[in-house]
Each structure stands twice: as structure tokens, then as C-alpha cells.
Amino acid sequence: MKIPADLRYTKDHEWAKIDGGTATFGITDYAQDALGDIVFLELPTVGASFKAGDALGVVESVKAVSDIFAPLSGEVTAVNEELTKAPETINTDAYAAWMVKIKIADPNEAKALMDAAAYKKLVAEVAK
């Protein structure tokens, strides 16, 4: 299982790449593996605003339907439309398969996200 060191993570298994005032995010390798074959993805529209922790979309697999939660507050500036047409791409590489980009409303919220080491520890505890 991959856990890239340059990303930040949530307890709900989303990853975020923060670049200046923009965050790009999706679900982690652990999440896609736990879900199994992903068959459907519902993402928000550009211009929608969310608070950290809000459900902003849905990922559906052959096993389950799960909400996707915003790791940070902000306004959606881009949505990966290609991913909605081929959601199974997430199973191939969860970190290349970004879902949403947001303009970050409060950069201080990033301090609450886990680094790779903390996320690896969380995954190990969940997997027990």
C-alpha cells in the first residue's frame, strides 16, 4: 500500500496535496483497496463551497457506497470529469486519480491533517 510522504491525510482516508492556496484531493490507496472495484463516482460542481469534514461526493464500489469528505474548507475550482467517466481509474492509482481541487478558505486547517507517518499508524490500527 502506498502512502506518499508529500501528501496530508484525514482519518476518513482522503489525501490532500496542498500547493499554495490550492488543495487537490482524492481517496487514499487504503480506501480504494477497502472499497474494492469502484463503479460510480459523484463529485460536486465547480463553485460549490464546503467546510472541512463535509460530505462533498459519493464513491460507489461493488462492496459499498461511501461519502467523500472535504479535508479542508474552501470553494471547488476544478473537478476531475474524466474520473466520473472512468471511476475504476481510482483502483489503478488512487493518488494520480485526483477528484477535486479547492481554493483553501483557511490554511490553518491543514495543521489538523495527518502526515504520512501518522496516517500509516492509523491504517495499521484500523487493519488490526
Residue 87 domain-assigned? yes
Residue 1 domain-assigned? no
Residue 101 domain-assigned? yes
Residue 125 domain-assigned? no
What is the domain extent for residue 65?
A: 8-105
Residue 48 domain-assigned? yes
- Least Cα distance to 87 among 65, 120, 72, 104 occurs for 65
99 to each of 32, 108, 116, 127, how far by Cα in Å?
A: 13, 22, 20, 25
**Entry pTM:** 0.94
Task: Supply the CATH number for residue 53's domain.
Answer: 2.40.50.100
- Based on the structure, what is the number of domains in the chain? 1
C-alpha span between 17 and 116 (Å, rounded): 12
Residue 111 domain-assigned? no
Residue pLDDT tens, the chain, 128 long: 899 999 999 999 999 999 999 999 999 999 999 999 999 999 999 999 999 999 999 999 998 999 999 999 999 999 999 999 999 999 999 999 999 999 999 999 999 999 999 999 999 998 77
Residue 60 in contact with residue 84, Cβ under 8 Å?
Answer: no
